[in-house]
Amino acid sequence: MSETATPSKTEKKRAINRLKSMYPLRNVVQQDYIDTLKASNEGKPTVWSMLNYWEGDLPLKAMGLNIVYPENYATLLAASGAAEPFLDASDSDGFPTHMCGYGRSTIGYSYRMMKENGGKIPPDAPLGGMAKPALLLGSGIICDARFKWFQSLARYFDAPEWCLEMPMMATYEGSEPDLEAYQVKFLVKELKDFIAFLEKLFKQKMDWAKLEELTDLAVKIHETTYKISELRQSIPGPMHATDFWSSMPPSLFFAGDMKVSLKCYQDMLAEVQERVNNKVSGINYPERYRLIFAELPPWHSLKFFDSLAEMGWNFVFESFGYHAPKPPDLSKYSDPCEKLARLSRNFMFNVFPEAKADNIQNPIVETYLKIARGFKADGFFMHPLISCRAASCSLRTVQHWEQEKLDVPSLWVEGDIIDKRVFNPQEVLARAEAFEQTMDHYRKVRKSRGLDW
C-alpha cells in the first residue's frame, strides 16, 4: 500500500520506525521523577495525584509544587517487570484482586513503604521511587477507582486528601441547554475551594499570573498535540501508537517544564509533518493494515507490537482517553478558575453535540466512530482489561457499532495493563493472522457499500 523508510542492509531492521522527537518527551517524565525525589530529599513536599484532566495539575504547578502520578508510576512498574511484589503486597493487605492494576500496584507500593520499610522507598522501586505524599489528590474523572483508591491510601499515610469533581454525563442530558453554564459554575466553586485549601496546606499564596500563564501554555500544548493527531490520519500512518504512549505524559498531566514540553511537541509536529510529506510510515514494513488500539495498552508487553509491525500492522491511533481534544477558545474568559474549568470540562463534553446528531447514546462509541472514519481503520484491537471497568465497559458497544455502521471488525483480546499473566502473546499472534482475512473481507464490504477505504 505504501512506501516505507528502508533501513540499511547491514543493521537489523527495527519493526517500528520510532520518531526521534519522541525520546526527549519520554525523558521529560523520567527526569521529572528524579527531580521530584531530589526535591523531596531537600525537604520539599510531594503531591500524589490522579490524572485529573488538568484542573488539578495546573494549580499545583502554578504553586511550584512537585507532583507524581501513581497511575503513571504503575505503568513504569509494569514496563520494567517490577510490578509483581507490589501487587502481592496489595493482596496481602486485603484488597480484592479484581481491582485496578494501577491501584493495586501503588497500594502495594505504599504498604511496602510504610509497613515493611519503615517509611523508606522500597529498594526495588524503579527510577528511585515516589517520596511520601504531603497531599493525596484524587479525582472523580472517568472512573470510581480514581477517588476510592486514593481514599484507601489514607490507610498508610496520614496525608490530607482532596477529591476533585467533574460532571459525568451521557448524550441526551449532556446537551441540556443550561448545562454548560451550571457545570462551569459548579467547577469554579470547587476549584476556588481547592485552591484555598492548597494555600492553607502549603502556607503559600496562589500565583494567579502564573496559573494563567500555565493555562495558556496548556492550550498551546494541546493545540500542537491535536495537530499531530490530525496529521496521523495520513496514509501511511506516520506515528505508531507506541510512540504516542511514550510521549503522552507531558500533555496528559504536564510532567516537567511545560515550556520545554511545548518545544518538544512542536519538534514532534514538524517531524510528523515531514513524514507525511514524504509518505514515511510509523513502521518499517509496508503498511498492510491500519489498526486502532482501544483502550489501555499492555504496558508489560509493548515489545509485542514489534511482531505485529513485522506483519504490516500499523497502529495508527489509540487510547482516546489519553488524547487532549482540540482546546476551547478561552480568550473571552477572565477568571483563571473559569478558564481551567472550561479546559478540563471540554475533555468530557466535546463530543456530545456530534453524538446526539448521530443518534448515538454512548459518547465513547461516537468518538471511536469518528476515529475509524478519519483514520480509515481496517480493524480495532480491543483490549478489555480484567482490572479496569472504565476503560473496558464500553468496548463491546464500540465493537458492535463499528461493525454495524462501518463494517470495521475487531480483534478481541482480553488482557491487563499490569498483570502480564493474563496475556499470551503467542496465542494473540496466531489469532492476528486469522484476523487478517476478516479485515480483507470487510475491506471489500466497505467498498461495496461506497465507503472510501
Site residues, another protein (CB under 8 A): 93-96, 98-100, 103, 138, 140, 143-145, 147-149, 151-152, 154-155, 158-161, 163, 165, 167-173, 176, 179, 182-183, 186, 189-190, 193, 196-197, 200-201, 361-362, 384-387, 389-390, 392-397, 400
Q: Binding partner of residue 163 among another protein, ligand SF4, none, CB under 5 to 8 Å per kind?
A: another protein
Q: Does 295 bind ligand SF4 (CB under 6 A)?
A: no
Measured from the CB atom, the residue of 309 and 388 that comes closer to another protein is: 388
Take residue 47 and report the three cell numbers written for it.
503531591
Task: Give which of ligand SF4, another protein, none residue 311 binds (C-beta under 5 to 8 Å, depending on kind).
Answer: none
Residue 67 CB contacts under 8 Å (≥ 6 apart), including other chains = 36, 46, 47, 48, 49, 57, 60, 61, 253
Candidates 129, 151, 128, 125; CA nearest to 138 is 151
Q: Is 351 helix (H, G, I), strand (E, B) or coil?
A: coil
Q: Is 323 in the site for ligand SF4 (CB under 6 A)?
A: no
The item of another protein, ligand SF4, none sharing an interface with residue 102, based on CB under 5 to 8 Å by kind, is ligand SF4
Q: Tell me the C-alpha distance between 253 and 209, whole Å.
A: 20
Report in angstroms how near the CB of residue 70 gets to ligand SF4 at its nearest: 9
- Residues 240, 287: contact at Cβ < 8 Å? no
Q: Which does 165 bind (CB under 5 to 8 A by kind): ligand SF4, another protein, none?
A: another protein
| Among ligand SF4, another protein, none, residue 451 binds (CB under 5-8 Å by kind) | none
Q: Which does 435 bind (CB under 5 to 8 A by kind): another protein, ligand SF4, none?
A: none
Range 117-120 contact pairs with CB under 8 angstroms and sequence separation of 24 or more: none
Per CB under 6 A, does 104 bind ligand SF4?
A: no
Kindly tell me which of 98 and 263 has the beta carbon lying closer to another protein: 98
Q: What's the closest the beta carbon of residue 61 comes to ligand SF4, in angstroms?
A: 21
Tell me the C-alpha distance between 57 and 250, whole Å: 11
Q: Is 68 in the site for ligand SF4 (CB under 6 A)?
A: no
Size of residue set near ligand SF4 by CB under 6 A:
13
Is 369 near ligand SF4 (CB under 6 A)? no
Q: Please identify, using beta-carbon distances, which residue of 261 and 392 lies nearer to another protein.
A: 392
Q: Out of 61, 104, 146, 339, name the contact with ligand SF4 by CB under 6 A.
A: 146
Q: Which of 62, 78, 87, 100 binds ligand SF4 (CB under 6 A)?
A: 100
CA angle 391, 283, 275 (to 5 degrees): 105
Q: Report the partner that residue 124 touches, choosing among ligand SF4, another protein, none (CB closer than 5 to 8 A by kind).
A: none
What's the CA gap between 18 and 306, in Å, rounded? 11
Q: How far is the CB of 138 from ligand SF4 (least distance, A)?
A: 10
Closest by Cα among 318, 311, 301 to 382: 318
Does residue 390 touch ligand SF4 according to CB under 6 A?
Answer: yes
Q: Rounded to 5 degrees, what angle do the CA atoms 341, 211, 74 make? A: 75
Residue with cell 493482596: 91
Segments in 203-335 forming alpha helices (H): 208-231, 241-247, 249-252, 258-277, 304-310
Q: Among residues 139 and 215, whose Cβ is nearest to ligand SF4?
A: 139
| Whole-angstrom distance, CA of residue 278 vs CA of residue 54 | 35
The DSSP string of 212-244 is HHHHHHHHHHHHHHHHHHHHTTSSS-SS-HHHH
Establish if 143 lies at the interface with ligand SF4 (CB under 6 A): yes
Binding mask 392-431 toward ligand SF4 (x if CB under 6 A, else -) reads -------------------------x--------------
Strands 66-68, 135-139: pairing is unpaired
Length of the chain: 453
Answer whether 302's CB lies under 8 Å from 242's CB. Answer: yes
With respect to another protein, which residue has the nearer C-beta, 51 or 264? 51
Residue 391 in the binding site for ligand SF4 (CB under 6 A): yes
The residues that touch ligand SF4, with contacts defined as CB under 6 A, are 71, 100, 102-103, 142-143, 145-146, 296, 388, 390-391, 417
